[in-house]
Structure 1
């Protein structure tokens, strides 16, 4: 009986150690010297997080954001623009998945989080066949927008869901994530 308990304990420890590693969602050929590491747990609000990401972007670097998933630590590259050097960036809707103030949006329509696996899988495997999904995997961008008081726990849960969905696809393509501040567009004035 003692040997069985020791064996079970050993199995448990081995399985825990496998899950406790860090999983990266970007190609390893990217130069580490061009990225700056930050941890999502270091921030109290989306606004604080975005201030840090923008400072990194203004120094011509990419943010390597780490966060704790359900089973392990995860790292993703966050692309953002320096507010002083903001280019015009307007990707085709089919090449984007938005996470905007807690809503999942595809092709300008709010969709259920239950469809996230399906959408991400279709986007990565579409290669331009269906006009509702990405032209090709390299063009797909996950765009996260929230206001400065945005809830970081909601963001962390979304990042965990998107990385889990990505894991089921079995691709070596990087997961491209862009973050920015949500800007409310005022209604057109009445004439």
Structure 2
């Protein structure tokens, strides 16, 4: 009887329980479909993107688990399976891009990562007032990209900062994050009256 009582005691009762949070998961998605992306296994950003694509095209959900001192965060990515789509129309104003840890809005405004709260807040609270910012919070997408030549060791820190900031502003965890190639916009041609015609 004494052995039974000792055996039932919790030996780790002083050990701190970590809070668990899930970010970016669609409603009704099954947790068992999640496939862990271990970014440390990849030397190039494009290799990580290819792995993400394979996961999505196999009807699974790419995710990354981030452990901090106080919590375990599971972050799901919203990448589509490009094999199923010729193209997807996304308005640029509904996108915030973080490329090499620099925030970019409309390829016009560039901000350091510590400006994340202000940039996110402007888009999340815009509700269509400013035509250069997001139509509404439901449509806002966050693209994260790195150059192949740049190491992406800072990816966990960027994801942690992004999820913390989003939750602080919205009190939600439904953030839409896509891992992506850098989107280089081609500037429109100049108006006809500015083009010189050589005869």
Mapped partners of 2:68, 2:138: distance in 1: 25
1:27–1:172 CA contact under 8 A, matched in 2:
no
2:61–2:77 CA contact under 8 A, matched in 1:
yes
Mapped partners of 1:76, 1:145: distance in 2: 16
TM-score normalised by L of structure 2: 0.71
1:5 aligns with none
Q: 1:102 to 1:70 in 2, by over 3 A?
A: farther
2:191 aligns with none
TM-superposed deviation, 1:101: 3.0
1:37 aligns with 35
2:192 aligns with none
Q: Which has the larger radius of gyration?
A: 2
Partner of 1:76: helix, strand, or coil? strand
Within-5 A mapping of 1:1-191: 16-17=16-17, 20-26=18-24, 29-32=27-30, 35-40=33-38, 43-45=41-43, 46-69=45-68, 71-108=70-107, 109-148=109-148, 150-172=150-172, 174-182=174-182
Q: In terms of mean alpha carbon deviation, does 99-108 or 35-44 score higher? A: 35-44
TM-superposed deviation, 1:116: 0.7
TM-superposed deviation, 1:43: 2.5
Q: Unaligned 5+ residue runs, structure 1?
A: 1-12
Q: 1:70 to 1:142 in 2, by over 3 A?
A: farther
Deviation per CA, 1:44-79: give whole Å up to 9, x if none.
333443232111111133322222346422112212
Mapped partners of 1:178, 1:23: distance in 2: 19
| Number of equivalent positions | 174
Partner of 1:79: helix, strand, or coil? coil
Root-mean-square deviation (CA, aligned residues, Å) is 3.1
Partner of 2:153: helix, strand, or coil? helix
Q: 1:131 to 1:34 in 2, by over 3 A?
A: farther
2:101–2:113 CA contact under 8 A, matched in 1:
no
TM-score normalised by L of structure 1: 0.74
Partner of 1:53: helix, strand, or coil? helix
Partner of 1:172: helix, strand, or coil? coil
